[in-house]
Structure 1
Amino acid sequence: MKLLPFAAAAALIAGPLHAAPSAAEKQMAATVAAEQQRNVALLEKLVNVNSGTLNLAGVTEVGALVRPELDALGFETRWIPMADAQRAGHLVAVHKGNGRGKRLLLIGHLDTVFEKDSPFQAFIRRGDKGEGPGASDNKGGVVVMLAALRAMQAAGTLKNADIEVVLTGDEEDVGTPIPLARRDLIAAGKRADAALDFEGLSVVDGKDMGSIARRSSTSWTLTVTARGGHSSGIFGASAGNGAVYELARIIDTFRRELPEQNLTFNVGLVLGGAQAALDAQGIRGTAAGKSNIIAEQAIARGDMRTLSNEQTARVRARMQAIVDQPLAGAKAAIRFEEGYPAMAPTDGNRALLAMLNGVNRDLGLPEQAPLDPLKRGAGDIAFVAADVAGLVGLGPSSEGDHAPGETVDLDSFERQATRAAVLMSRLAATPR
C-alpha cells in the first residue's frame, strides 16, 4: 500500500492548532458558497433521471449529464461499457497536473437502489433539504465532488493536480464477474497515492465523523443432504437426524462460536424438506415435504461482514470447520461467494484523516473523529484499499438513504465541498 509517510502523518497531527487559510483556500470557500444554487440545480437534474443499477439506459444517461461537467474542468473523459458484466458502464476522467504532487483518485457512483418500478422517482426541495432517489447516495456526492473541483479551478489549484475520477455504474448491485466489473477502479487505485470516496458524510450526535474503514460484504450458501424416511425413525441409527436438524445445528454453532469484534453474520433465507431448491439469483426458493417424512434437503443463505480481509479468511475457515463435522446420516457443504472486500483502518488512512482535520482547524470547523466501522456499510473504495490509503465520507450528510424519502442536507454541500477542495489542493501540492 502507498501510505503517506509516517513522518508526514506525525507532523500533521502535531502541527499548529490553527493557521489562517491561504488566499487560494479563501477563494475556494467563496466559490463554493456562490455556486450553491447551481449545485442544487444540478442535483435536481441528476435525481430526476432514474438510474437504478439495472436501468442501464438511465445509468448511461446520468453519466452523459456528468461527463460535460468534467470536460469543462479540463479532464479527459471516457465511458467504459460493461455489457459483459451485465451493467451499464463507468465514467472515468483524468486530469493531468504537473506530476509532482500526490496522485488523487476520486470515487463515486452513478446508480441508485431505486429501479424504474419504484414509486420514489422525483426530486423535491423542502427548504434546506432535498428529497429524492439518490439525492445523497450518490448523486449528492457527485455534485459535491464537482463543486470542489470547480472551486479548485477558480482558485488556480486544479491546474497542477493529478486527479483520476472513477464513477461506477453499479455500486449498489455490482456486476459479475466482479474482477471485470471492478477492473478499471482497481487499476486506478494502483496508480494513486490517495483515494477519496464521495459517499455521504456520517453524522453522529450532531458531529461530523471521519471514515477510515469500511467492512466487507460477502455471502455464503450452506447446503445439507440427509437420508430420508419415515419420521418415526428420526434420530435412529439407520435414519439419522435429517437435513433440517443438521442445518439448524450448524447455524446455531455459528451463532455460539463465531462472534468476535467487528464481525457480523446473518442468515437471511432458509429452506428445508423432502426437496429444497434456490432460484438462479439465490433470493427465492421452493421446498416441499410432509410432517411425517424426514427432511432430505436443507439450504440456508446469509452474509458476513468483516473489518479486514484477514478476518474474512479466518472466519471462513472456522465456518468450514463447523460444517465439516456433520451429524450422523447427513452431509453438509458451504460455498463462499465473493463480494465487497474490507477496507481496514491503516496508518495511511489515519494520516489522511489527520490531514483533513488540519483543514478543519484552518477553516474553523470541528475535528472529525474516526467513525465506528460498524456504522458504515460496504463500498467501492474497498476494492482499492489494499493498494492506496483512503478516506470515506466526502459527500453530503443525509437521512433515510436507500429508502423512499431519502433526504440530503443541502446546507452540507458548502461545508463538504470546501473541505474537499482544500484537502485535495493540499494533497496535490504535497510531493510524492
Structure 2
Amino acid sequence: MNVKATWLFFLWLVTSASYAADEQDLVKHIMASVTAEKTYGTQLLERVVNINSGTDNAAGVKAVADVFAPEFKALGFQVTWLDGKSFNRAGHLVAEYGKVGPKLLLIGHLDTVFAQDSEFQRYQPVDERYVRGPGITDMKGGDVVMLLAIKALKAAGVLDRLQLRVVLTGDEESRGTPMSLATQALVEAGDWADIALGFEDGDSNPETAVIARRSSANWALTVQGRPAHSSQIFQPDVGDGAIFEMARVLNGFRQSLSGQTLLTFNPGVVVAGTDTGLASDGRGKAFGKANVIAAEARVTGDLRAISAEQQQQAWIAMAKIAADSLPHTHTTFSYEDRYPPMAPTEGNKRLLALYSRASEDLGYGPVRAVDPRKAGAADISFVANHVNMALDGLGLMGAGGHTDQETADMDTLVSLAARAALLMARLADY
C-alpha cells in the first residue's frame, strides 16, 4: 500500500470510528431524554385525556390545544391557533420551528369520537402497564409521543438542524365542511414539507408502521321503477321494478370488482318501496306493500382503494354497471371522493427502512409495514402525495380504539418516542 493509500485508509478508519461514536452518543442521549421524560409524558397524557374533546365539542378541542400550545412554545416553536368556524369545527393547532435543514411535517389530532354526553370520560389505570381512557391511543397518546420525541431532539442538540411544522387537527374523526377549508392547513403543510410523519397508532402493533392507507369515499344509488300491482311485474309495459334493479346493480358491483386487491366497497344503508327517503346522517324511511311493485330504492355505501388510479377505475366500472338498467327502470350513480389514498411508494418504503433501523439500533427490533386493510384513512392521507416520503402509525399503541375499552400500553411510550426521535435525528443528515 503506498503512502497516499495508507493515509486515506487511516482517515477512513478515524472518520468511521468518529461517526460510530457520535451515533452511539446520539442513541444514548435520546434514550436518556425520553426515559427521563416518561413521568412528565404520562402526567400530560392524563391531563389531556381527562378533557372531553369529541369533535363536536369545540370548546373541549380548543382546551386540549391550549394544553399543548405552551409545551411547544417552551421548546421554541411559533404556535398558531387556526379557528375552524369557516369549516364548522373547532380549529387546528399549528407549531413551527427552524429555518435550516430538511422540512418535516408532524401530524396529530386533538379530537376524539367520544361526545360530551359519553359515559367514557376519564383516564383510568388498569394495572402497572395499561391505562384506559377516551382518545388515549386515538390519538392523544400519539401527540404526547411526538412531543417527547421533539424534546429528545432538543436535548441531543439536533433540533436546530431540522425544520419542523406540527399540525394537530381538530376534526380528524369527523371532517369539517367544506373539506377544502378543513384540510387547507394540512395540504399547505404537505406542499411545504419534504417528509411527513403521522403519529396515529396504526394497527396498535409496535412491530409495524404504516406506509400505505386506503382512500375513503362515498357512493350512492337512486333507483326509479314503474309502480304497479305486483301481479304485473316483468310484463313488457311494467318492467322489473326498483328493487330488482337495485339488486342487479349491487350484484354487478360485486361480480365485477370484488376480486381486485385492496379494493373494497360496501352498501351500508338501503331503503326501498313505494315512497322512500334517506338523509345525510344515514337515517332512512320507506313505505310500501307486498303486493305493489317498488317505485324507488336508495343505497349509500363507501369505497376504499389503495391508489387514485384504482379508485377512478372503480368509479368508471360502477357507473357503467348502473347505467345498464333493466326495463322501465333508471339508476343514477353518484360518488364523492373524500380521503385520498396513501399509496405504498418507494419513498415511503425507504422511510420505513430508516425507521426500522432506528428501532433496531435502540434495541426494539425491526419494524414491518402494516397491511393496508388494517389501517383506515387518516390525516396523513391528505399530504402523502405532496411529499417525498411519508410514514404513519408512530403513536402510542394499545387496543379498543373508538370504544369504551380504549386502552394504552404505556410500556410503548418510551420506545415509540425514542424511535421517532432517532429517525428524525438521522433525517437531519438524509
Could you say which TM-score interval applies, normalised by the shorter chain? Answer: over 0.9
Q: Which has the larger radius of gyration?
A: 2
Q: Which amino acid aligns with 1:34?
A: A
Q: Give the 3 Å change call, closer, same or farther, for CA 201–377 of structure 1 in structure 2.
A: closer
Distance 1:365 1:414 in 2: 11
Partner SS for 1:137: helix
Show structure 1 runs of 5+ residues with no match: 1-17
Please name the residue that 1:33 is paired with: 35
TM superposition shift of 1:203: 4.9
Say how many residue pairs are matched. Answer: 409
SS, match of residue 420 in structure 2: helix
TM-score normalised by L of structure 1: 0.92
The aligned residue for residue 208 of structure 1 is 207
2: distance between equivalents of 1:420 and 1:324?
50
Percent of aligned pairs with the same amino acid:
46
Secondary structure of 1:187's counterpart equals: helix
Contact 1:214 1:376 in 2 (8 A): yes
Residue 155 of structure 2: aligned partner: 154
Per-residue deviation at 1:85?
1.1
CA distance in 1, matches of 2:66, 2:255: 50
In structure 1, the residue matched to 2:51 is: 49
What SS does the aligned partner of 1:267 have?
strand
1:171 aligns with 172
| SS of aligned partner of 2:137 | coil
Alpha carbons 2:233, 2:241 under 8 Å: kept: yes
The residue matched to 1:159 in structure 2 has which SS?
helix
What's the C-alpha RMSD, in Å, of the aligned pairs? Answer: 1.5
In structure 1, the partner of 2:324 is: 325
Please give the alpha-carbon distance, in whole angstroms, between the structure 2 residues aligned to 1:201 and 1:189.
Answer: 20
Provide the C-alpha distance between the structure 1 equivalents of 2:217 and 2:243, rounded to a whole number of angstroms.
24
1-side partners of 2:226 and 2:412: how far apart?
Answer: 61
CA contact (8 A) 2:217 2:336 kept: yes
From the superposition, tell whether residues 183 and 386 of structure 1 become closer, same or farther in structure 2 (CA, over 3 Å).
Answer: same
Give the 5 Å matches for 1:289-308. 289-308=288-307
Relative contact order: is structure 1 or structure 2 higher (C-alpha 8 Å, sep ≥ 6)? Answer: 1
Matched, 1:416 2:427: no
Which residue type is aligned with residue 57 of structure 1? A
Which range moved further: 231-240 or 22-31?
Answer: 22-31
CA distance in 1, matches of 2:274, 2:356: 60
Is 1:339 equivalent to 2:341 in the alignment? no
SS in 1 for 2:155: helix
How far has the Cα of 1:201 moved from its partner?
Answer: 4.6
Mapped to 2, the partners of 1:167 and 1:31 lie a distance apart of: 23
Q: How does 1:355-374 map to 2 (within 5 A)?
A: 355-374=354-373
1:103–1:428: 8 Å Cα contact kept in structure 2? no
Q: 1:130 to 1:252 in 2, by over 3 A?
A: same
- Rounded to whole Å, the distance in 1 between the matches of 2:70 and 2:204 is 32
CA distance in 1, matches of 2:122, 2:113: 14
Give CA-to-partner distance per residue, 1:18-37, whole Å, 9 cap, x none.
96743133111111111111
Q: Which amino acid aligns with 2:38?
A: Q
Which residue is 1:377 aligned to?
Answer: 376
CA distance in 2 between partners of 1:399 and 1:65 (Å): 25
Matching residue of 1:277: 277
What is the deviation of 1:360?
A: 2.0
- Residue correspondence of structure 1 range 420-431 to structure 2 within 5 A: 420-430=420-430
Do the aligned residues in 1 keep the contact of 2:202 with 2:375 (CA within 8 Å)? no
Q: How does 1:228-239 map to 2 (within 5 A)?
A: 228-239=227-238
User: For structure 2, which runs of at least 5 residues remain unmatched after alignment?
Assistant: 1-18
Q: AA paired with 2:118?
A: S
Question: Where do residues 206-285 of structure 1 align in structure 2 (5 Å cutoff)?
Answer: 208-259=207-258, 260-279=260-279, 281-285=280-284
Q: Which runs of 4+ in 1 moved over 4 A?
A: none
Query: Which secondary structure does the structure 2 equivalent of 1:138 belong to?
Result: helix
2:399 counterpart residue number = 399
Moved more, 117-126 or 314-323: 117-126
Instruction: Check whether the contact 1:19–1:361 (CA below 8 A) recurs between aligned residues.
Output: no
For residues 160 and 255 of structure 1, the distance between their equivalents in structure 2, rounded to whole angstroms, comes to 52
Contact 1:90 1:166 in 2 (8 A): yes
Match of 2:12 in 1: none
CA-to-aligned-CA distance 1:22-53 (integer Å, 9 cap, x gap)? 31331111111111111111011101111111
How far did 1:202 drift?
3.2
SS class of match (1:403): coil
Counterpart in 2 of 1:80? 82
| 2:121 aligned partner | 121
For residues 28 and 425 of structure 1, the distance between their equivalents in structure 2, rounded to whole angstroms, comes to 9
CA distance 1:402–1:24, shift in 2 (3 Å): same
- Aligned with 1:136: secondary structure? helix
Q: Which has the higher helix share?
A: 2
Equivalent pair of 1:226/1:296 in contact (CA under 8 Å) = yes
Equivalent position SS for 2:95: strand
